[in-house]
Amino acid sequence: MKPWQIVLTITAVSFGLTMIEIPAGTWLSTAALSLACGVAALSLMAAAAILAGRWGWPETALGGLDRVYAAHKWLAVYALALASVHFLFKAGDPSWAAESIMALPQGWTRLARQASFVALMSIVILALNRNIPYSTWRWWHRLSGPLFLIVIVHWLSIKSPLDLVSPAGLWLAGLSALGIAAAAYKLLLYPFLARHADYRVVKVLRGPSAAEIEFEPVKRGIDFHAGHFGFLRMKVDGLREPHPFTIAAAPAPDGRITFVIRALGDYTAKLIADVEPGMEADVYAPYGRFERKPDCRREIWIGGGVGISPFIAWMRDEQKGGFANVSLFYFFTPGRVFPDIDVLRKMAEERGIEFVPVSGGPGSRDFIDRFGEIVRDTAPGTPDIALCGPAGLLESVRGLARENGLDPACIRHELFQFR
């Protein structure tokens, strides 16, 4: 499912169930619009809380945790938009039989109404503000669950024609209960119950503004496939924030894993500078659905910057085979390349993979011409195109695919950023 499909479905169901409970003659009123928007906003907030719990079934439904985070963001954005409409107009009409589900002392109902809008606005603004340091952002964003409770109190305390046992009431109660459960799980139980394992750093290879860090399991490692990613949490003061990184390794008998990390912010810069063999870490994994498709006639792999990580894992996965039909394009910035071009070229040659380093960006003739040749040689079929890199690279490759008669939707990609 796509984020817009989730938003549209939840909004449509919320509006439909709301209209069932009010007189048809008031459907076109601002009161009906306000009430329906309020129901939809609370429903979207609850869905966002459910996705934030990192449960397995939303990841399966959306095609990976990266898609879950994108949907989570847009659910919150549209929840704020609908809540603004709800806040603008009075959600009441003289012809409605309205009662509150939970009575509050005089004055508290209005306070809950105002506080719920401020809470939602704060959640969205904090989530979308990229200028806030991640360490600060993470702790503030953990308040989303408790703030969600304020919105639920507002729903329960206002006078409304939607009683708790009505279809709309049951809809809100079910979503809210799941949202509260997910928020409680993520806030209190996730560190203990989520799939994770203890690891120890055994090797650090540093490059220009990047590093390859190899870990061995302290006891038992995690089960994963090449292309999965995990949340790395070092057990060292100043590096305890969990961050997502692609596992740049294939499953091995000794359980060792590797992360290729580039300095893209304060945390990653400090991690690269301070990490040393012997340090221990928690790895929460596996996540993601960016895996090789079996038995493809022709494959095009496109990695940009640190987006080369999943393709390193794919090359290290000897069990898959079929490398003779693979072309790997690696986009890099001169002076910041890591791993070194020669290292990647040797790795590709050992697997029989065509390796094409590209330093001139997606407008490079080397890339455009070779991409077109592969597409023409594969015709009448379509090559499997897998991409991991910045959004700008993805859009350029989509345009190039279109120019070569391919549907841009055929490009499989992993979202490069969560925030």
Main-chain phi, psi angles of 361, to 5 degrees: 85, 175
CA distance 257 to 263: 20
- 351: Cβ contacts below 8 Å, ≥ 6 apart: 315, 323, 326
CA distance 28 to 26: 6
Q: What is the pLDDT of residue 214?
A: 97
Taking 70 as the threshold, does the pLDDT of residue 132 lie above it? yes
> At the topology level of CATH, where does 3-193 sit?
Four Helix Bundle (Hemerythrin (Met), subunit A) (1.20.120)
Say yes or no: domain 196-287 is CATH 2.60.120.10. no
Domain limits, CATH 3.40.50.80, in the chain? 299-414
Q: What is the pLDDT of residues 29-51, one digit of tens each?
A: 999 999 999 999 999 999 999 99
CA distance 279 to 298: 42
Average pLDDT over residues 326-347: 93
Q: Longest Cα pair distance anywhere in the chain, in angstroms?
A: 77
Instruction: Supply angle C-alpha 239, 242, 248, rounded to 5.
Output: 100
User: What does each C-alpha distance from 330 to 17, 153, 359 come to in angstroms?
Assistant: 51, 52, 8
Query: Is 321 buried (19+), middle (13-18) or exposed (0-12) by CB count in 10 A?
Result: exposed
Q: What is the pLDDT of residue 142?
A: 79
Supply 377's token pair: 């040689």
**Angle of helix 3-20 versus helix 167-184 axis, rounded to 10:** 140
End-to-end CA distance of the chain: 20
Q: Which CATH architecture has domain 299-414?
A: 3-Layer(aba) Sandwich (3.40)
Domain limits, CATH 2.40.30.10, in the chain? 196-287
Q: What is the pLDDT of residue 57?
A: 92
Q: What is the pLDDT of residues 263-301, one digit of tens each?
A: 988 889 999 999 999 999 999 999 999 999 988 899 999
Supply 34's token pair: 């306000």
Domain limits, CATH 1.20.120, in the chain? 3-193
Q: What is the pLDDT of residues 55-86, one digit of tens each?
A: 999 999 998 999 998 999 899 889 989 999 99
Q: What is the pLDDT of residues 368-408, one digit of tens each?
A: 999 999 999 998 889 999 999 999 999 999 999 999 999 99
Q: What is the pLDDT of residue 183?
A: 93
